[in-house]
């Protein structure tokens, strides 16, 4: 049986819609019919075929790691799962033998294979996933919301890095993950939430997601306004999502002495900053964040979504069929005046 799939077929910009055989499950695999798949910033990097992609991606490759679907076939050794279950998947396939895995930090496995990056992904009618990576979704969770759990996990992991209860929090960068972090910070007790971005449409979404103050460094005095709103102290915690050197320096300047930074955003080039004044003398704590804790973060996500503490629906700004992928990537790369956050594709529509 054949299926449609969206793939990087050659080492050049762009993607192609192809036909390929539906994969057959091995003994420990699960075959999933994809009901929704959202486009990630990483997928955009691969589409553009930038320097990172050229060193990491080996065509031909089916993209996509943010998805939801329904189990349609099980490998003979799989237990605890059933055909028909609504599922998503943890995208990091780990070795269980490296030092990080053995220390209970599987999300930092040095031999990780990532779905849609190192092996075929979910921009297809069907995707094959190891059974141990499958996450069973609540039956009442809409597939498009369930497809957002991969990036939502990054936001939850970042927000839970430090105790935010009663704290002044700065979400530095309002891409989809930064926007997701805003209601998480609110749900776990943040006193005041500041959000920064250079895109006014994203700042409007930040306000919709619950930010108290939104600031655009292109025309706002970010540090001055934060200090004024915190009686001269600065923020207690920065959730760094931007990966932008100027934004990172500004956030550190707005951080109070003894404050903490949970850093998720990846910086493209080497970062220059005043290490002595902004980190050492300030007594700042900086914690790097990668991926999601397996499976601790997923249980936190489930609680936040099922209790209604976090609503991700406003972040789904566009819905398209798989064969409309060019429109979806164009929206993310060149949004113009449109509000664009998450673009969800429906491979089996």
Distance CA 240, CA 238 (A): 6
Tokens standing for residue 67: 């998805």
CB 156 within 8 A of CB 177: no
Nearest partner of 67 among 129, 155, 15, judged by Cα: 129
**pLDDT score at 268:** 86
Domains 2-148+312-346 and 154-288 share a fold: no
Cα separations in angstroms, 178 against 63, 171, 224, 239: 23, 6, 22, 8
DSSP 276: I
Question: Given a cut of 90, is residue 110 above it in pLDDT?
Answer: yes
CA atoms within 13 A on the CB side of 65: 24
pLDDT of residue 184: 98
pTM: predicted TM-score of the whole model, two decimal places: 0.97
Helix H, strand E, coil C: the string for 14-50 is CCEEEEEECCCCCCCEEEEEEEEEECCHHHHHHHHCC
Can you tell me the distance from the alpha carbon of 217 to that of 119, in angstroms, rounded to the nearest whole number?
Answer: 39
Tell me which residues are annotated as active site: 42, 45
What tokens were used for 155? 């936001």
Q: What is the mean pLDDT of the chain?
A: 97
Domain boundaries, the chain: 2-148+312-346, 154-288
Cα 183 to its chain centre, rounded Å, is: 15
pLDDT at 312: 98
> Which of the four pLDDT bands, split at 50, 70 and 90, describes residue 57?
very high
Nearest to 247 by CA among 225, 229, 226, 265: 265
Predicted local confidence at residue 150, as pLDDT? 98
269 band by pLDDT with thresholds 50, 70 and 90: confident
244-276 per-residue burial string, b: 16 or more CB within 10 A, e: under 16: beebbbbbbbbbbeebbbbbbbeeeeeeeeeee
Give the tens place of pLDDT for each residue, 2-48: 999 999 999 999 999 999 999 999 999 999 999 999 999 999 999 99
DSSP state of 132: G
CATH topology for 154-288? Answer: Rossmann fold (3.40.50)
Query: Mean pLDDT, to the nearest integer, of 99-108?
Result: 97
- Whose structure tokens read 């076939």? 73
Q: Which of 293, 323, 244 is nearest to 106 (CA)?
A: 293
The CATH number of the domain covering residues in 2-148+312-346: 3.90.180.10
pLDDT band at residue 341 using 50, 70 and 90 as cut-offs: very high
Query: CB under 8 Å to 268, separation ≥6 — which residues?
Result: 243
């Amino acid at each position: 049986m054949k299926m449609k799939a969206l793939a990087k077929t050659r080492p050049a910009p762009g993607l192609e819609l192809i036909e390929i055989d539906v994969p057959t499950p091995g003994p420990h695999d699960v075959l999933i019919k994809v009901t929704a798949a959202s486009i990630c910033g990483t997928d955009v990097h691969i589409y553009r075929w930038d320097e990172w992609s050229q060193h990491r991606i080996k065509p031909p490759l089916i993209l996509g790691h943010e998805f939801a679907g329904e189990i349609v076939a099980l490998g003979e050794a799989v237990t605890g799962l059933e055909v028909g279950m609504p599922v998503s998947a943890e995208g990091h396939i780990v070795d269980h033998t490296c030092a990080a895995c053995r220390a209970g930090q599987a999300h930092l496995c040095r031999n990780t294979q990532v779905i849609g990056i190192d092996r075929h992904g979910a921009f297809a009618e069907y995707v094959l996933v190891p059974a141990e990576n499958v996450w069973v979704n609540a039956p009442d969770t809409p597939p498009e919301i369930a497809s957002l759990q991969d990036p939502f996990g990054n936001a939850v992991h970042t927000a839970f890095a430090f105790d935010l209860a009663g704290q002044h929090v700065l979400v530095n960068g309002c891409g989809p993950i930064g926007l997701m972090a805003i209601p998480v910070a609110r749900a776990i007790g943040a006193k005041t939430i500041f959000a920064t971005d250079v895109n006014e449409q994203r700042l409007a979404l930040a306000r919709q997601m619950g930010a108290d103050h939104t600031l655009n460094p292109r025309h706002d005095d970010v540090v001055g306004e934060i200090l004024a709103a915190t009686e001269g102290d600065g923020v207690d915690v920065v959730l760094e999502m931007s990966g932008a050197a100027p934004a990172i320096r500004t956030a550190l300047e707005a951080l109070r002495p003894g404050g903490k930074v949970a850093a998720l955003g990846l910086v493209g080039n080497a970062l220059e900053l005043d290490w002595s004044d902004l980190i050492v003398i300030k007594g700042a704590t900086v914690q790097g964040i990668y991926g999601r804790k397996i499976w601790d973060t997923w249980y936190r996500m489930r609680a936040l979504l099922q209790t209604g503490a976090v609503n991700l629906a406003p972040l789904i700004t566009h819905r398209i069929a798989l064969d409309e992928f060019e429109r979806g990537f164009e929206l993310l790369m060149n949004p113009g005046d449109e509000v664009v956050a998450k673009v969800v594709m429906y491979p089996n529509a």
